Amino acid sequence: MGRPRPARYGARDPGVWLWRACWILAGLVAVGALGIFFAAPALNLIFKGFVDENGHPTISVMAQTFQSARTWRIIRFTLGQAALGAILCLILGVPGAHLLYRVRWPGRTVVRGLVSVPFVLPTVVVGVAFRTLLAANGRLGFLGLDGSWQAITAALVFFNYSVVVRTVGATWSQLDPRRAQAAAALGAGPVRVWRTVTLPALAPAIASAASVVFLFCASAFGIVLVLGGTRYSTLETEIYTQTVEFLDLPTASALSVLQIAVTGFCLFLSGRAQRSLQRSLGDAAPSPLPFRGRRDGLPVAVTAAVVLGLLLAPILTLVERSFQRDGAWSLVNYRDLVTIPDGSGMVVTVWQTLINSLTTAVWATLLAVGLGVVVALLLSRRPTSRLGRTSLSIGDAAFMLPLGVSAVTVGFGFLITLDRPPLDLRTSPVLVPIAQAMVAIPLVTRVLLPPLRGVDPRQQEAASALGATPWRVLGTIDCAGAGPIPGVGDRVRVLHLAR
């Protein structure tokens, strides 16, 4: 028997008509927001790469950029370190996901919280922390890693470790344990069960996490700027350097085009991998496993090493430094938070800055979660028509694009695009949260999609047969069944909004 084609009904029924109209409206809002606040600015800036000073179309800038050895070095470095970062995050993060989401032990909530701290730290601060730690006179100065690419990779893993732990962990905690039990009963040892049952079931979440981490690493900005100095630059920092230091918009936009191509290709691959890996998680949610040394020993060792060595060391260094002024222990740094120190060049107190940041963050979060939920729900539909399926896979990639397009591209695009009526937002304070939300939407979407897509369609059918309207099915089956959605607010939280 083929795959059953779900029923579709004509617009005769007003309820069905309203239901469809709402989805179309949601789609338009999502596409519209993405178009105005992401595509238009980015395209506008990119367009600059294809015209000369007099406004005539040319490809000479493009050609020049691609002939330069520097460009290729930067591409190699960008992709290489992103791949390395993603692989390391997976190797370290999957055992962490097991330990923090599948096994029951006292204190796991605390460690879960601790693990997600780096994700919300500002990149510049983290960059400084790593430098402090690795500098010749720092605590880890003997490693001689100051200014090396290894330091950059370590800092990127520091940031993105929790993405893997949380994305994979959320799926893992929902996995029907009977499948593993069935495999064990067929004579498979624990390793084989993991490889043949657990791993394939986790694959969509792993692919999703890996693609997010890869894109974060590939578009890393603050970290590379602080730790890489002049020796290492990624496409992102290069775009920034070209724009801000050399005022060379055409070259910057040529690099942006390149970045979009690279990102688009990665997204295409990851989207395809995710769809082909997608499957139901089963309907029996497991209870957490008791701790068992033989099974959990390795994850404990890996996770402890990561938490202590990679996550805590820089954070503690920061705390330590905050209590020091000119080499002596002191609280003067904290006193300075509420006052404007003489000769610091600051015009507002740090507290005020903090309040401004928080306000921005709250707005950005509301926007990102609101639109992200709409996008995730849209992308989790199972359209029957070929047209529907095609637009879905295009949308899947399109809504991920902001993640991989240089924030610098979008930022400068904003300034040169949204600078005239009807939308003159250049000086408006709403610009910052909107820009941040655009970058955060793909993240919200990626967190929500795997559980939403994992909902068994027969559950929806059962609810419909019980007389539930499509709205009620959405609310009581898709949303409730997807489980970790309540956690999204906390997950996206203040996000990397400080970045």
User: Is 336 or 461 the residue whose CB approaches other proteins more closely?
Assistant: 461
Q: Which of 10, 106, 290, 421 binds other proteins (CB under 8 A)?
A: 10
If one asks whether residue 13 binds other proteins (CB under 8 A), the answer comes out as yes
Which single residue is written with the structure tokens 């055409």? 250
CA distance 455 to 381: 11
By beta-carbon proximity to other proteins, the closer residue of 10 and 343 is 10
Q: Which of residues 477-496 bind other proteins (CB under 8 A)?
A: 477, 480-481, 483
Q: Which of 464, 493, 494, 498 binds other proteins (CB under 8 A)?
A: 464
| Interaction between residue 150 and other proteins (CB under 8 A) | no
- CA 90 to CA 293: how far, in whole Å? 22
Closest of 324, 326, 330, 317 to residue 139, by C-alpha: 317
3 binds other proteins (CB under 8 A): yes
Q: Show Cβ contacts of residue 325 under 8 Å, excluding neighbours closer than 6 positions.
A: 332, 333
- Is residue 461 at the binding interface for other proteins, with CB under 8 A as the rule? yes
Q: How far is the CB of 89 from other proteins (least distance, A)?
A: 30
Maximum Cα–Cα distance for the chain, whole Å? Answer: 78
> Site for other proteins (CB under 8 A): which residue of 285, 301, 354, 358?
285
Q: Which of 24, 284, 298, 338 binds other proteins (CB under 8 A)?
A: 284
Q: How many residues does the chain have?
A: 499
Residue from 249, 468, 494, 498 touching other proteins (CB under 8 A): that is: 468
Q: Which of 470, 493, 494, 498 binds other proteins (CB under 8 A)?
A: 470
Cβ atoms 436, 497 nearer than 8 A: yes
Q: Near other proteins by CB under 8 A, which window of 12-20, 99-107, 131-139, 272-280?
A: 12-20
Q: Which stretch binds other proteins (CB under 8 A): 7-15, 298-306, 311-319, 442-450?
A: 7-15
Distance CA 267, CA 396 (A): 9
With both helix axes pointing from N to C terminus, report the angle between 313-322 and 123-134 in degrees, rounded to the nearest 10. Answer: 90
Any alpha helices (H) in 312-454, and if so which ranges? 313-322, 332-338, 350-379, 386-398, 401-404, 407-417, 431-453
Q: How far is the CB of 30 from other proteins (least distance, A)?
A: 25
What residues does 329 pair with on adjacent strands? 324
- Considering only 192, 472, 486, 487, the residue that binds other proteins (CB under 8 A) is 472
Is 5 a residue that touches other proteins (CB under 8 A)?
yes
* Binding of other proteins by 9 (CB under 8 A): yes
d(CA 92, CA 300): 11
Of 285 and 337, which CB lies nearer to other proteins in the complex structure?
A: 285
- b vs e for 436-463, b when ≥16 Cβ sit within 10 Å of the residue's Cβ? bbbbbbbbbbbbbbbbbbbbeeebbeeb
Q: Does 7 bind other proteins (CB under 8 A)?
A: yes
**Residue 2 binds other proteins, judged by CB under 8 A:** yes
Binding window for other proteins (CB under 8 A); candidates: 13-21, 78-86, 141-149, 187-195: 13-21
15 lines the binding site for other proteins (CB under 8 A): yes
Q: Which amino acid is at 52?
A: D
d(CA 217, CA 204): 20
Nearest to 440 by CA among 381, 361, 380: 361
Give helix 407-417 / helix 40-47 axis angle, nearest 10°: 90
What span, in angstroms and rounded, lies between the C-alpha atoms of 129 and 155? 10
Please give the Cα distance from 447 to 119 (Å, whole number): 14
Among 47, 456, 494, 498, interactor with other proteins by CB under 8 A: 456
Q: What's the closest the beta carbon of residue 189 comes to other proteins, in angstroms? A: 27
State yes or no: residue 95 binds other proteins (CB under 8 A).
no
- CB-wise, 248 or 456, nearer to other proteins? 456
**First-residue to last-residue Cα distance in the chain:** 51
Name which of 408 and 463 has its Cβ closer to other proteins. 463
**Interatomic CA distance for residues 365 and 371, integer angstroms:** 10
Q: Does 248 bind other proteins (CB under 8 A)?
A: no
Least Å distance between CB 474 and other proteins? 12
Helix (H) or strand (E) holding 228: helix 222-228
Decide: is 469 part of the binding site for other proteins (CB under 8 A): yes
Our finding on whether 1 is near other proteins (CB under 8 A) is yes
Rounded CA separation 452/360 (Å): 29
- Number of chain positions touching other proteins (CB under 8 A): 37
User: Which residue stretch of 35-43, 278-286, 306-314, 421-429 sits at the interface with other proteins (rule: CB under 8 A)?
Assistant: 278-286
Does residue 14 touch other proteins according to CB under 8 A?
Answer: no
Where on the chain is the footprint of other proteins (CB under 8 A)? 1-10, 12-13, 15-16, 283-285, 456, 458-459, 461-470, 472-473, 476-477, 480-481, 483
